[in-house]
Structure 1
Amino acid sequence: MPTSLAHHYHQALRDQDILNQLRTHYPDGPTLHQLAPLDQLHIGGIAASKRLLGLLDQSAPMVLDIGAGLGGLMRQGAALGFHLTGLDITHRFNVLNQAISQLTMTQPLNNSPAGTLRCVTGDACALPFSDASFDAVLFQHSLMNMPDPARVLAECRRVLRPGGQLVMHEVVSGPHSEALRFPVPWAEGPAHSHLLSLSELTQTLEASGFKIQHCEDWSHTALEWRQRQRQKEQAPLTAVLSPQWVFGERFMQMGKNLLENLANGAINVVEISTRC
């Protein structure tokens, strides 16, 4: 029987070690960039999150982040004035996310006051929120873990207000999907990897009532970013924080496979903005 998705993510998580490391090295509170090696584990890092948040309407501040992980995107959004609710199926991620936020001195990135943060443990197939309660929904490397995307997107449509946004930065199947190598950060093997092709993803979005306004494939940029990260990961471990604090030693193979999957066209990376 395959392990649960939550177990995949928390089995090597060094919760208390991470908090002790943050308190020791950043007694005044870590900045968003200092946290990024830990909480911005998606392809593209903090720059990709900035792009994604830049697609949101600043005047519509209530945002749901589905698959929030350790909260890097949430804290970055709050610094822009958005009010973020993060949903994740991994409860230990949510607990650590909240603890990191309490240590972090989130400084506003514009003239708006910093937004609020809350975390909820739950399944995206049955969102624990009332109808029309959010202005926007975010996905960042999270839909790929969900075996029933149509049901998830129907739930997103339900909790969005009329005219609301659904914005995503996702990994999709590439032209050589048969070459996909495991493990990767989102899955040890096929059981938890549910990649759609870009055409399948856009068709599912449209069938769920979303109108696509922006769709960009930036796999080339993603590959260049991943190549730079791989060089850093192969250097002696002197960094205060790294993905290994989340994934353990297995991240070295995950990172290697991720680079090869991008280079071989097994996966692509896309950025999509829609409205309902």
Structure 2
Amino acid sequence: MPDHQRLTEHYHQGLRDDAILTQVRTHYPNGPTLHQLAPLDQLHIGGIAASKKLLNLLDPQKHPKVLDIGSGLGGLMRQGAALGLQITGLDITHRFNALNQTLSQLTLEPHTLDKNGAALRYITGNASALPFAENTFDAVLFQHSLMNMPDPNQVIAQCRRVLRPGGRLVMHEVVSGENITELRFPVPWAATQEHSHLLTLTELTQLLEASGFQILHSEDWSSTALEWRQRQRQKEQASHTAVLSPQWVFGERFLQMGKNLLENLSIRAINVVEISARC
């Protein structure tokens, strides 16, 4: 089985598409808000606050056309559209894209879509071969997605190609920590080492610079990420059943994934960084 099919299977395995939509329609008959969807569609360390911080690195006036690579269920996309960005989401998992689009149609924030629905677009594709012309976008976003890509050099080269001169590349990514050899699986992005392609911060920075990017901003976000994950773990262990949670995407596996994620942050097997660069 090709790598991309195995990766897709990882994300398909526990995904409960129809049940998620039934849950949303039942509990939020007038449509969910972005915050109500966040436990489901902000599948990254830091949740909706981390997405806000990442999006603040962009100016809707200067960077209106944005590509979100590894868009998942679209939390970052809808949040960005609410700020006035026109966002194209690309994900290799087609069922994510289909669910993402339906969730967008159900949200309470009608201003996230213009009358033609042009503020958001959904593309199933591979980041190593972006299906876009040169100079198409003003900005490219990564949020916990590069770590799933076995050929980051090709992915970043593709980003450079589709960005206009002076465009921005912004990242909120997991990278290798000093104790990466102690990384515990499964984690949300990978059940085994096979689909975990973490770079160190130094390797990532050098890759961007070698590809023609100038680093504008680089921040280690690991301490805040650990505190956030500790709070989330307490919620996950509470007796009440949440309306929406990552378990609707990953199934019962998430109980172990969430535990491992916290432990990996605690022992610094992984770090979380935020980066902004200009081409």
TM-score range, shorter chain: over 0.9
Alignment match, 2:149: 146
Shift of 1:105: 2.1
The answer (yes or no) to whether the contact 1:82–1:115 under 8 Å persists in 2 is no
The answer (yes or no) to whether the contact 1:81–1:115 under 8 Å persists in 2 is no
Aligned partners of 2:265 and 2:218: how far apart in 1?
19
Moved over 6 A (4+): none
Aligned partners of 2:108 and 2:212: how far apart in 1?
39
Q: 2:78 aligns with which of 75, 78, 81?
A: 75
Using the aligned pairs only, state the percent identity. 75
Q: 1:246 aligns with which of 246, 249, 260?
A: 249
Alignment match, 2:30: 28
Shift of 1:218: 1.1
Alignment match, 2:213: 210
Deviations 1:212-269 (CA, angstroms, capped at 9, x unpaired): 0000001000000000000000112421101000000000000000000000010000
Matched residue SS, 1:4: helix
Amino acid at match of 1:77: G
After TM superposition, the score normalised by the length of structure 1 is 0.96
The answer (yes or no) to whether the contact 1:66–1:138 under 8 Å persists in 2 is yes
Aligned partners of 2:203 and 2:103: how far apart in 1?
36
Alignment match, 1:272: 275
Alignment match, 1:99: 102
Alignment match, 1:230: 233
Query: Superposition pairs for residues 5-44 of structure 1, below 5 Å?
Result: 5-44=7-46
Alignment match, 2:135: 132
Amino acid at match of 1:266: A
Amino acid at match of 2:148: N
Matched residue SS, 1:101: helix
Query: Superposition pairs for residues 81-92 of structure 1, below 5 Å?
Result: 81-92=84-95
Query: Superposition pairs for residues 127-206 of structure 1, below 5 Å?
Result: 127-206=130-209
Aligned partners of 2:201 and 2:64: how far apart in 1?
28
After TM superposition, the score normalised by the length of structure 2 is 0.95
Aligned partners of 1:264 and 1:187: how far apart in 2?
18
Aligned partners of 2:43 and 2:230: how far apart in 1?
14
Shift of 1:184: 0.1
The answer (yes or no) to whether the contact 1:63–1:85 under 8 Å persists in 2 is yes
Matched residue SS, 1:84: strand
Aligned partners of 2:30 and 2:126: how far apart in 1?
35
Shift of 1:58: 1.9
In structure 1, stretches of 5+ residues that fail to align are none
Amino acid at match of 1:160: L
User: Considering only aligned residues, what root-mean-square deviation do their CA atoms show, in Å?
Assistant: 1.3
Aligned positions, number:
272
In structure 2, stretches of 5+ residues that fail to align are none
Matched residue SS, 1:42: coil
Matched residue SS, 1:220: helix
Matched residue SS, 1:260: helix
